[in-house]
Amino acid sequence: MKANLFKHIELLLKTNSRYLSEDDKLLKAKIYEDAMRMDKQLIKILISDDLVKDVFFINVDGVLVFDKHKFAKFIDSKEFLENSYTSYANKIGLTSGDEFISRSSAVVLDFPFKDCYLGGGQLKTIKKDKRSSLMN
């Protein structure tokens, strides 16, 4: 079933020329970008197909909601467009759950002592000063 879904979505997306390269191959990065931006044209293409609608849309009180994270995980999988030239294939990086932290806006690189200056590289002969406050 899943192998058929990969091929099914590939054929569905090929109906729109904006997702095709000059040599008629799907542009995986463009599809991913449009999915994350909730692009109306992509949503219309996906919602027009019953199989895709059942897999990637959730019915909430009569309103269809697109699960963009599920779709992104699907197109990021190696089985979808195996030989695609994209920066997302076989990516190495830090993850939180199933998502790369580079794709999350909730990432903070946190350091202690944000409100002071720590001197470094001192020799033993130089008197070691305590932290100098920058904020106070």
- 6, amino acid identity: F
Domain boundaries, the chain: 2-103
Confidence check: pLDDT of 7 > 80: yes
Q: What is the pLDDT of residues 20-77, one digit of tens each?
A: 888 888 888 888 889 999 999 999 999 999 999 999 999 999 999 999 889 888 887 7
How far apart, in whole angstroms, are the C-alpha atoms of residue 115 and residue 80? 48
Mean predicted confidence (pLDDT) in 106-128: 64
Mean predicted confidence (pLDDT) in 111-122: 64
Q: Which residue has the higher pLDDT, 120 or 88?
A: 120
Q: What is the pLDDT of residues 94-110, one digit of tens each?
A: 777 666 777 777 766 66
Give Cα separations from 96 to 88, 92, 99, 121 (angstroms).
17, 13, 6, 35
Give Cα separations from 99 to 3, 7, 66 (angstroms).
23, 24, 18
pTM for the full predicted model: 0.57
- 66, amino acid identity: F
86 pLDDT tier (thresholds 50, 70, 90): very low
The pLDDT assigned to 41 comes to 93
Q: What is the pLDDT of residues 9-22, one digit of tens each?
A: 888 988 988 888 88
Give Cα separations from 12 to 6, 25, 133 (angstroms).
10, 13, 60
The pLDDT assigned to 30 comes to 87
Give Cα separations from 78 to 4, 6, 32, 90 (angstroms).
15, 11, 14, 7
Q: Is the dihedral of CA 107, 69, 27, 86 positive or negative?
A: positive
